[in-house]
């Protein structure tokens, strides 16, 4: 079968790899120019040796399905063990461990976490810079060879046998709304509409003259502006420079999400929060970039690993982190379970 997957995040690419290995032809449509979705890496504009994981900062796998995959990536040199615990700032003081978190293996990628997406994309035909705007059910009508048409923003339409939508729920809703067969999606669209996402800002900073820092990450509690500080220079060699990827508190980002021209103001508020934590040196950065994630992680979720719609002849599935959870682990499990389910079912039919 020819399977069209919308979204080259970890959920879509994991399903794609399993389906391709089962003998299906897989095309993945990705609107951005990168692989990996929210497992994303941004390159510095100023320094060749600096990059920032500006989406999720690390990956860990308590779930055995994901853990096995992480070990595969570690074996290939794509991942390495980064930390087993983080520092903790309670709003007053910095401690070298979180009082309520047990030790866990947390992995980082020396080349950047987007190398996971790049690795997974080997099994599929990934078409980047290709935005899908909807899909049309053709059935066996109009002499088309395949039951579905995926409609691209470029006005092109691609015929496929089956569709997997692997985007955040808000974008899944938009795609379904633009589909011509509303009855098929009637049962699910209301539920998808209820999934809400937390926004988050990531501030990427590089310092040429910072004092030595001995933490991998700092979890910030009771802080109205900051949520997590990732020491990016502890993941890879950045010379003597310190590079940080600083995540905002979700309420802070929510407050600023509709600001007209907020970047300078947000950078200044986040830097001033860092100065309170570290001292004056934190205000003397040599590079600053800001990224707003409108949909960082879902606040509520479905209770199943995936949703399957349509007929065996023309199936559609919805997957992603909003299936059973809100994290990388859930996104991976969703793609993994759907991939194996379809590999068995569609290969037999």
Ligand X SMILES: Cc1cc2nc3c(=O)[nH]c(=O)nc-3n(C[C@H](O)[C@H](O)[C@H](O)COP(=O)(O)OP(=O)(O)OC[C@H]3O[C@@H](n4cnc5c(N)ncnc54)[C@H](O)[C@@H]3O)c2cc1C
Contacts to ligand X by CB under 6 A? 6-12, 29-32, 37-39, 55-56, 131-132, 166-168, 171, 175, 200, 202, 247, 293, 296-297, 320-321, 327-329, 331
Please say which residue, 246 or 309, places its beta carbon nearer to ligand X.
246
Please say which residue, 147 or 320, places its beta carbon nearer to ligand X.
320
E-assigned strands of 116-182? 125-127, 132-137, 148-152, 157-160, 162-165
Please say which residue, 2 or 152, places its beta carbon nearer to ligand X.
152
Q: How far apart are CA 319 and CA 15, in angstroms?
A: 9
Residue 239 CB neighbour total at 10 angstroms: 11
Closest distance to ligand X from the beta carbon of 9 (Å): 2
Please say which residue, 15 or 282, places its beta carbon nearer to ligand X.
15
- Rg (C-alpha) for the chain, rounded Å, is 21
Q: What are phi and psi of 57, to 5 degrees?
A: -85, -20
DSSP 251-294: HHHHHHTT-SS-HHHHHHHHHHHHHHHH-GGGG--SEEEEEEEE
Helix/strand/coil percentages in the chain, nearest 5? 30, 30, 40
Residue 174 CB neighbour total at 10 angstroms: 14
Closest distance to ligand X from the beta carbon of 250 (Å): 10
Please say which residue, 323 or 349, places its beta carbon nearer to ligand X.
323
Closest distance to ligand X from the beta carbon of 335 (Å): 7
Closest distance to ligand X from the beta carbon of 117 (Å): 8
Closest distance to ligand X from the beta carbon of 290 (Å): 12
């Amino acid at each position: 079968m020819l399977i069209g997957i919308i979204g080259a995040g970890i959920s879509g690419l994991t399903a794609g790899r399993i389906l391709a290995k089962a003998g299906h032809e897989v095309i993945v449509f990705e609107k951005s120019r990168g692989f990996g979705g929210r497992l994303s890496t941004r390159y510095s504009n100023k320094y060749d040796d600096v990059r920032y994981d500006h989406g999720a900062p690390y990956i860990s796998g308590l779930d055995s399905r994901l853990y096995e995959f992480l070990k595969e990536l570690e074996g290939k040199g794509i991942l390495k063990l980064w930390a087993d615990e983080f520092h903790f700032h309670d709003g007053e003081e910095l401690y070298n461990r979180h009082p309520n978190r047990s030790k866990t293996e947390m992995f980082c990628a020396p080349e950047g976490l987007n190398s996971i997406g790049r690795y997974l994309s080997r099994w599929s035909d990934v078409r980047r810079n290709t935005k899908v705007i909807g899909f049309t059910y053709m059935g066996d009508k109009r002499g088309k060879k395949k039951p579905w048409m995926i409609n691209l923003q470029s006005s092109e339409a691609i015929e496929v046998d089956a569709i997997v939508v692997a985007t955040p729920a808000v974008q899944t809703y938009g795609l379904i709304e633009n589909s011509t067969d509303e009855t098929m999606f009637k049962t699910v669209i209301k539920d998808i509409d209820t999934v809400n996402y937390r926004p988050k800002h990531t501030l990427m900073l590089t310092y040429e003259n910072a004092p030595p820092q001995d933490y991998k990450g700092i979890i910030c509690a009771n802080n109205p502006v900051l949520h997590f500080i990732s020491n990016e220079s502890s993941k890879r060699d950045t010379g003597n420079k310190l590079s940080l990827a600083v995540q905002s508190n979700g309420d802070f980002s929510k407050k600023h999400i509709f600001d007209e021209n907020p970047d300078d103001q947000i950078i200044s508020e986040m830097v001033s929060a860092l100065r309170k934590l570290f001292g004056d040196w934190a205000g003397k950065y040599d590079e600053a970039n800001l990224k707003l994630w409108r949909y960082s992680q879902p606040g509520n979720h479905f209770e199943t690993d995936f949703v399957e719609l349509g007929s065996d002849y023309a199936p559609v599935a919805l997957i992603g982190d909003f299936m059973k959870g809100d994290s990388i682990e859930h996104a991976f499990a969703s793609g993994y379970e759907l991939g194996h389910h379809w590999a068995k079912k569609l290969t037999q039919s």
